[in-house]
Amino acid sequence: MSDKPLNDDFNELDADMAETNAEHGLDADPSDNLAPLDAVIAERDEWKDRALRVAAEMENLRRRTARDVHDARAYAIANFARDMLTVSDNLQRALAAVPAGAKEKGEAGFAALLEGVEMTERGMVSTLERHGVKKIEPEGERFDPNFHQAMFEVPNSDLPANTVVQVVQTGYVIGERMLRPAMVGVSKGGPKAAPAAEAASSGEAKG
């Protein structure tokens, strides 16, 4: 059995390990070697967080772009449609100016002319509807300032106040936006509508 003290063997072993650690850039205390790893993990988490934020921003941009494209397609003809409504109004006024029974009593050419005007007016309205333009028909509904323009009041105690009783000029919407408000007459002097009835009526007017 060697007479060499056991402590000397351990001291030599420690010295060898220290030399090996030094050659490989390792600290003698293993806990000190965790600092670079923690830094790498922190940097990884930071880049991961950045990547997630960029992905979220790109998704929001994609949605906004899709919505803008949809709106551009849906409402691109708004100004043109508004001008065409004026033409439609003039056709309706022309038809309304014809005395009752004149079509039947008039000559064949006159009747054909009226029929042509009627067909033109109906065709124009039908074409606008195919492009998302729809009439507002609020008579009997609760007045909604978002879609109606009050022109006068009609005393009527039998109806809730601010009920549309007459449409002077037809209103139109394009998609979910108002293209032209309906010009209406509203009732006054009647009881106030209950809040629930007001909300329901407002929803119907917007629909």
pLDDT tens digit sequence for 138-147: 998 999 999 9
C-alpha to C-alpha distances, 129 to 20, 123, 133, 183, 204, nearest whole angstrom: 85, 10, 5, 20, 19
Beta-bridge partner residues of 148: 182
Tell me the residue range of the domain where 81 lies. Answer: 77-131
Residue with the larger pLDDT of the pair 10 and 16: 16
Do 149 and 104 lie in a common domain?
no
- Cβ-based neighbour number of residue 136 at 10 Å: 24
By DSSP bridging, strand 148-155 and strand 182-188 are parallel
Q: Residues 98-110: what's their mean pLDDT?
A: 73
Write phi, then psi, for 167 (nearest 5 degrees): -110, 115
Do 33 and 65 lie in a common domain?
yes
Is pLDDT of 194 > 70?
A: no
Do 65 and 84 lie in a common domain?
no
Do 124 and 159 lie in a common domain?
no
Residue 192 DSSP label: P
- Asked whether the beta carbons of 133 and 179 are under 8 A apart, the reply is yes
Q: What is the pLDDT of residue 185?
A: 94
Q: Residues 199-204: what's their mean pLDDT?
A: 46
CA distance 136 to 206: 9
**Which H or E element spans position 110?**
helix 108-130
- In the three-class reduction of DSSP (H, G, I as helix; E, B as strand; rest coil), residue 164 is classed as strand
CATH code (residue 182): 2.30.22.10
Do 101 and 143 lie in a common domain?
no
Q: Residues 178-183: what's their mean pLDDT?
A: 92
Domain count, the chain: 3
φ/ψ region of 26 (left if φ > 0, alpha if ψ in -120 to 50, else beta) reads beta
Tell me the pTM. Answer: 0.56
Do 70 and 1 lie in a common domain?
yes
Do 103 and 65 lie in a common domain?
no
Q: pLDDT tens digits, residue range 119-153?
A: 998 898 888 888 889 998 899 899 999 999 999 99
2-6, 57-61, 115-119: range with lowest mean pLDDT: 2-6
The pLDDT-based confidence of 206 (bands split at 50, 70, 90) is: very low
CA distance 87 to 93: 10
